[in-house]
A and B are shown apart, each in its own frame.
Chain A
């Protein structure tokens, strides 16, 4: 009797500790990034492009990388949205009577989600060679789109799955076409989920290095067309960290702070928006 109680107590303490550990780790990561980067973050850092001698510790900033990241993530999120939304809707509206087929699509998407981004990067590189385009913003956008597409579709699908089947039947019986049901009923009903899906993909696209390593190249300028190479924030951090010069490494710390702030901002935005639009939902 006694041993039973002690065992339970022991494991409850362990469980509590491991939960605390996860919180602590997040706090520790954010704290150490902010502590090492904030002293070097200045207005010049985020408002100017690298000038001559930047990589030897002279003046300049990372505006090229910030803009490059925004271009890349916006472009690929938009492309993934345009191709992903129809697939997610089709799985839940048009193929609603074929659950086996839908489940196998889900399986394929889950498998694609699990494939490491470096493989997408290598694949993007083979596409580049095949199509004869060089490392550019366009090649990066295509690669990152492929990378975030399964994430976006699955996230949308999870939201659309919760729409009750009765709604589909009711709309069909009123004579709506399937595309009307898709956009006017299902899409509207799931706006919080859609926002979550889009912002999740945006965060993934903004933070990934391995898939753009091969495909976007690197430049000190802000790209003005799709054919030009682009820099991204994670790439900038990665390259500058390998520099032997202390000033350049410090800039990598500062760039990391910028990236963390962007990611945290997206995370908070997701919560606020999905809570705001949740009110408009019809509840059953």
Chain B
């Protein structure tokens, strides 16, 4: 009898746990759909009155008179993201090759916590560092050197801060990519007389190319959505930027800067939610493509 009872309670526990598990899993699976639906629900008010294309390509941003053109913000976002990727990409690539092919054990032992800590630093700290170091550097040295009077709050400052922020993220994926390439390939290349660097150049980079592209894609979408650190150093001027040391106003910064007054102007909240939706969709598409490449790559290996 006692044995029966014990068995029953075990089965019960199993069932209760199973039930809770399924609920949690369902929550995770529907979360992205709910997010898209929720953001669309809030932004549909604005979309009813204007078409998406006209909003994206319109240059006029005057919330008071109901004109919401996202073009300057989108262009600023593209500038900052591209510049950040341009700075971060070579450093990540070189370091990941160094760490996986050349580095001694102690270097790995040092670099592992360094990358972890760098990845864990909150974005507001990066922003503060940008204000303390990067912005004065551009304002006091780089600007005058180029013969321009600038405050230092610029696309370039945002891109430098962003580049540092995405380095640990991209680096981790790249290390993973190079580790996944079978050792036999490098060994074969070395045994036919190629130098280490030739092996890297002709075998590793070629074999790892899809993974490298995917890593940069993921880094790019991370940079595209980063908010606070960029907002703090980028200047926030609503104008289409034409150069790197001019101020810009990326999309995430727009949302973060104006949430306070969005309820007091009609359609303003709808416009901000629409920019969140645009961010969501763009980042999702970039992520999806990159992940797809990585999965394809893993299956081949």
Contact = CB atoms under 8 A, between A and B. Distances in A.
B14 A179 contact: yes
B118 A8 contact: no
Interface of A is mostly: helix
Given A12-B102, A29-B126, A23 B111 contact: yes
Nearest to B224: A116
Contacts of B118: 22, 25-26
B28 A149 contact: yes
B124 A207 contact: yes
B27 to A, nearest CB: 7
B94 A208 contact: no
A86 B17 contact: yes
B284 A111 contact: yes
Contacts of B91: 18, 21-22
Interface in A124-168: 125-127, 129-130, 146, 149-150, 153
Contacts of B129: 28-29, 32-33
B114 interface: yes
Contacts of B276: 118-119, 122-123
Interface residues of B, number: 85
Interface in B9-46: 10-11, 13-14, 17-18, 20-22, 24-25, 27-29, 31-32, 34-35, 38-39, 41-42
Interface of A: 4-5, 7-8, 11-12, 14-19, 21-23, 25-26, 28-29, 32-33, 36, 83-84, 86-87, 89-90, 94, 103, 105, 107-112, 114-123, 125-127, 129-130, 146, 149-150, 153, 177-180, 182, 200, 203-204, 206-210, 213-214, 234, 237-238, 241, 252-253, 256, 259-260, 263-264, 266-267, 271
Interface of B: 10-11, 13-14, 17-18, 20-22, 24-25, 27-29, 31-32, 34-35, 38-39, 41-42, 90-91, 94-95, 97-99, 102-103, 107, 110-111, 113-118, 120-129, 131-133, 164, 167, 171, 195-198, 218, 221-222, 224-228, 232, 252, 255-256, 259, 272-273, 276, 279-280, 283-284, 286-288, 291, 295
Which 5 pairs between the two chains have the least Cβ-Cβ distance?
A116-B225, A207-B122, A122-B276, A15-B98, A8-B197
